[in-house]
A and B are shown apart, each in its own frame.
Chain A
Amino acid sequence: MIAPFSHVLALAAVVFTLGAYCAVARRNLIMMVLGVEIMINAACIALVGASLRWGSLEGQSFVLFILAVAATEVSVGLAIIVYAFRRAGSFDPDAYNSLK
């Protein structure tokens, strides 16, 4: 591997923090889902790096599964968001309070 494993981990940590910040701070459901996606991808980076570091394929195959699950998650999530937008007329997560 050209880059040391610690760099990969650092990159994953930075990306994960960015994603977490996006999921927590943005006032838009779509951006929240995006943040979650970025967090997932950060985990994937760490997994791929680890699989290269220890020379075993499991990490990579795991990532493939994660990607598939993430793709379905996005499609389901977006469908829910579209539906929620029709009902509430807003993307703000705080607008969904009709269950209160």
Chain B
Amino acid sequence: MTAFWSDHATLPAIVLATFAPFAAFFAIMLFTRGRPRLSARLSIGAISVSLACALYLPCVHWRMEQPLEYTAQWIASGSFSIPFGFLVDPLSLLMLTIVAAISFLVQMYSLGYMAGDPGFSRYYAFMSLFAWAMMSLTVASTVLQLFIFWELVGLSSYLLIGFWFEKFSATQAGKKAFVMTRVGDASFYIGLLLVLLHMGNLDILELGGPKATESMSPGFITLAALLVFGGIVGKSAQFPLLTWLPDAMEGPTPVSALLHSATMVAAGVYLFARLFPFFSLSSTAMTVILAVGTISMLLASTMAMVSRDIKRVWAYSTISQLGLMIMALAAGGWFAGVFHLTTHAGFKALLFLCSGVFLHTYETGDIFELSARGGRNLKIPALTLAVGAAALSGLPPFSGYFSKGAVMGALSGLTNPIWALAALVGVLLTAYYSFRVVFVIFFPGSGVAESSVHSHAAGEGHEGGHAETYRAMAWPLLVLAGVTLILGFFEAPLRGFLFGGATAPEAHESVYALMVHYAAIGLGLLGVAAAWVEFGWSRAKRVGLVERWSPALANLFAERWFLDHFYRAFMESVIDKGFASLAHWNDRRVIDGTIDGAGRRTIDAGRRTALWHLGAIQRRLLTTFAVVAFLALYFFL
């Protein structure tokens, strides 16, 4: 706490950064709902303030030796106490900056994308709510406080996914996202309570320290860690709770960009990184987590290979990249995971925003149709799409190359080579499906050449008529593409920042690690080449490998490994026929019967007592008060 007085700008900056969007949310909801332009200005003004604060803080604390904590007492009772406050350390500052920057760009972009929408003000209000919840989550000082904002993030993403609520599928998707993440959150909450009961507090910094090992047995730590990880599984859409994420594409595209890069799904990985010392206490839990991350990564990659919808491809790729981050973290590569989270936030936002431009122009998300209608004529989105896809595939010199290299380094440090091998397969699949999208859009093929002419005119008309919206959407793309290009070269400074005064652990470069590293590059290029042979080349068949080999397999991938079918069957047989019918019977027979009986008795009694009634309620009330007052006087005086 000595640092409190030495720089007093930190606390106001954090408070300002987190509360500005909240104030904007309230102002918009209460006062400016009918005035869209003003609402957008309010929201963007607030997020600019947050961004300025978020950029200022890392500059001040670039060489921070130990984390700062500003707390005040919130709940104190008996054996436990829960403070409320802010935790400032390199990780939270980095995440704060990412969230603020991405939110700012997305909100600027939305000026173009959402222009003319009847719910424009509402949209910006929810965006502000979202930004507030996520930024407060990053700087929360206790896990309970984090959990509160974690739920608020869930709420605002529900509101935004179901933003176009007149569309039935959108409301369904919002509901699905909400319910599925809630399943994970219930497990998170139980884990949190277990820790609270044993340790007496939930301070993030103390959770991985010696106090945790003293107060809990190893088996118990494993249990608590796995329960908390359940929350991460829900939030970050890992196996088995991953099917809500592709459906969340029903929301406006900027929302998807925000949801998939810096907020919501990133919150899960952030929590993992935040509680990394705690998870590290249990090697069993880490192995389970590693397995879950691996399964999610591979499953989602296969789903992405056959999807025709551009946004869904990126949604699946988000799941798989999050799986990769979780793998890296679970393998002990804290920096690798966090670094991949950072670069991923940049290029995934870029990919979604590019898709948004295509969607906005052609009003379809089907990649083959986009290509047939001349999607490549939109120069800036098409180019930046290629940049984003290259970063996603981990091709040098884009940011994804560096972070994936770090992840591979972490995985090759494990004794069991199967994890590194799985990650390499993931790299190959990622490169293949990302460039599948790029090549399909870039090279419409010969069969559809004539139809591209007519849509070219449509594209021209668009740029002429809505040049302003196009420009509003284009410049965030360029900014993000620039970030994607250069971010990778900041690996060393970022490592220094994250490890603070402590010396960063040196990455040990064994021959095996180098082999994995080169294999990753090689497989990335191989994936691109495979996509080129199938979709890019002028004589390409434009049919995916999987579809040609085995339609059944393609169907399996397209149906998301029948996870949804399984859930529906489970819901029907166990929940509907089991619990629900039991509860229904109980409600009708036991509860209704009792209440109806009580009601009949009451009516009977009422009929009888009504005979004495005079109808002067207030006089009776007054008498009652007077009697009580006199009794009180008699007894207490």
Q: How many Å lie between the Cα of A2 and that of B291 in the bound state?
A: 53
Q: Nearest B residue to A26 by beta-carbon distance?
A: B618
Partner of B625, one of A24, A94, A97, A100: A24
Q: How many Å lie between the Cα of A84 and that of B202 in the bound state?
A: 52
Contact B614 A57 (CB under 8 A): no
Known: A25-B618, A94-B615, A100-B614. 5 other contacts (CB 8 A): A24-B622, A94-B616, A96-B615, A97-B614, A99-B610
Q: Nearest Cβ distance between residue A29 and chain B, in whole angstroms? A: 9
- State whether the Cβ of B613 lies closer than 8 Å to any Cβ in chain A: yes
Residues of chain A with a CB closer than 8 A to B610's CB: 99
Q: Which among A20, A32, A99 has the greatest number of chain B C-beta atoms within 10 A?
A: A99
- Interface size on B, as a range, is 10 to 19
Q: Nearest Cβ distance between residue B79 and chain A, in whole angstroms? A: 11
Instruction: Give the contacts of A39-89 with B (CB-CB under 8 A).
Output: 55-57
Instruction: Give the contacts of B609-635 with A (CB-CB under 8 A).
Output: 610, 613-618, 621-622, 625
Contact A24 B621 (CB under 8 A): yes
- State whether the Cβ of A12 lies closer than 8 Å to any Cβ in chain B: no
Number of interface residues of A (CB under 8 A): 14
Contact B613 A100 (CB under 8 A): yes
11 contacts between A and B (CB under 8 A): A20-B625, A24-B618, A25-B618, A32-B618, A55-B77, A56-B78, A57-B78, A93-B618, A99-B610, A99-B615, A100-B615
Q: Which among B76, B77, B78 has the greatest number of chain A C-beta atoms within 10 A?
A: B77
Q: Nearest A residue to B617 by beta-carbon distance?
A: A93
Check A97/B615 contact, CB under 8 A, given A55-B76, A56-B77.
Answer: yes
Q: How many Å lie between the Cα of A25 and that of B614 in the bound state?
A: 18
Check A57/B77 contact, CB under 8 A, given A20-B625, A24-B621, A99-B610.
Answer: yes
Q: Nearest A residue to B623 by beta-carbon distance?
A: A24
Residues of chain B with a CB closer than 8 A to A20's CB: 625
Q: Nearest Cβ distance between residue B626 and chain A, in whole angstroms? A: 10
Residues of chain B with a CB closer than 8 A to A100's CB: 613-615
- State whether the Cβ of B75 lies closer than 8 Å to any Cβ in chain A: yes
Contact B75 A57 (CB under 8 A): yes
Q: Which among B75, B78, B621, B622 has the greatest number of chain A C-beta atoms within 10 A?
A: B621
Q: Nearest Cβ distance between residue B599 and chain A, in whole angstroms? A: 13
- State whether the Cβ of A23 lies closer than 8 Å to any Cβ in chain B: yes
Q: How many Å lie between the Cα of A71 and that of B597 in the bound state?
A: 25
Q: Nearest B residue to A97 by beta-carbon distance?
A: B615
Q: Nearest B residue to A98 by beta-carbon distance?
A: B615
Q: How many Å lie between the Cα of A16 and that of B615 in the bound state?
A: 25
Residues of chain A with a CB closer than 8 A to B616's CB: 93-94
**B→A interface (CB under 8 Å):** 75-78, 610, 613-618, 621-622, 625
Contact B75 A99 (CB under 8 A): no
Contact B613 A99 (CB under 8 A): yes
Q: Nearest Cβ distance between residue A13 and chain B, in whole angstroms? A: 12
Q: How many Å lie between the Cα of A25 and that of B617 in the bound state?
A: 11
Q: Nearest Cβ distance between residue B591 and chain A, in whole angstroms? A: 16
Q: Nearest B residue to A95 by beta-carbon distance?
A: B615
Q: How many Å lie between the Cα of A20 and that of B616 in the bound state?
A: 16
Q: Nearest A residue to B75 by beta-carbon distance?
A: A57
Q: How many Å lie between the Cα of A32 and that of B618 in the bound state?
A: 9
Q: How many Å lie between the Cα of A97 and that of B614 in the bound state?
A: 7
Residues of chain B with a CB closer than 8 A to A56's CB: 77-78
Q: How many Å lie between the Cα of A25 and that of B619 in the bound state?
A: 9
Q: Nearest A residue to B76 by beta-carbon distance?
A: A55
Contact A23 B615 (CB under 8 A): no
Contact A23 B621 (CB under 8 A): yes
Question: 4 closest Cβ contacts across the A-B interface?
Answer: A97-B615, A57-B77, A99-B610, A99-B613
Q: How many Å lie between the Cα of A100 and that of B609 in the bound state?
A: 11
Q: How many Å lie between the Cα of A27 and that of B610 in the bound state?
A: 22
Residues of chain B with a CB closer than 8 A to A96's CB: 615, 617
Q: Nearest Cβ distance between residue B209 and chain A, in whole angstroms? A: 26
Residues of chain B with a CB closer than 8 A to A25's CB: 618
Q: Nearest Cβ distance between residue A50 and chain B, in whole angstroms? A: 14
Q: Nearest A residue to B77 by beta-carbon distance?
A: A57
Residues of chain B with a CB closer than 8 A to A23's CB: 618, 621
Q: Nearest A residue to B621 by beta-carbon distance?
A: A24
Residues of chain B with a CB closer than 8 A to A32's CB: 617-618
Residues of chain A with a CB closer than 8 A to B78's CB: 56-57
Q: How many Å lie between the Cα of A82 and that of B618 in the bound state?
A: 19
Residues of chain B with a CB closer than 8 A to A93's CB: 616-618
Q: How many Å lie between the Cα of A24 and that of B618 in the bound state?
A: 5
Q: How many Å lie between the Cα of A35 and that of B625 in the bound state?
A: 13
Residues of chain A with a CB closer than 8 A to B617's CB: 32, 93-94, 96
Q: Nearest B residue to A100 by beta-carbon distance?
A: B615
Residues of chain B with a CB closer than 8 A to A57's CB: 75, 77-78
Q: How many Å lie between the Cα of A55 and that of B621 in the bound state?
A: 35
Q: How many Å lie between the Cα of A100 and that of B614 in the bound state?
A: 5
Give a binary string over A15-31; 1 marks a CB under 8 Å from any B CB, 0 the rest: 00000100111000000
Q: How many Å lie between the Cα of A20 and that of B628 in the bound state?
A: 12
Q: Nearest Cβ distance between residue B375 and chain A, in whole angstroms? A: 54
Q: Nearest B residue to A61 by beta-carbon distance?
A: B77
Q: How many Å lie between the Cα of A29 and that of B75 in the bound state?
A: 39
Q: How many Å lie between the Cα of A69 and that of B210 in the bound state?
A: 44
Residues of chain B with a CB closer than 8 A to A24's CB: 618, 621-622, 625
Q: Nearest Cβ distance between residue A56 and chain B, in whole angstroms? A: 6
Q: Nearest A residue to B629 by beta-carbon distance?
A: A20
Q: How many Å lie between the Cα of A52 and that of B613 in the bound state?
A: 44
Q: Nearest B residue to A56 by beta-carbon distance?
A: B77
Residues of chain A with a CB closer than 8 A to B75's CB: 57
Q: How many Å lie between the Cα of A44 and that of B76 in the bound state?
A: 19
Q: Nearest Cβ distance between residue B123 and chain A, in whole angstroms? A: 31
Q: Nearest A residue to B628 by beta-carbon distance?
A: A20
Q: How many Å lie between the Cα of A25 and that of B618 in the bound state?
A: 7
Q: Nearest Cβ distance between residue A60 and chain B, in whole angstroms? A: 9
Residues of chain B with a CB closer than 8 A to A97's CB: 614-615
Q: Nearest Cβ distance between residue B269 and chain A, in whole angstroms? A: 34
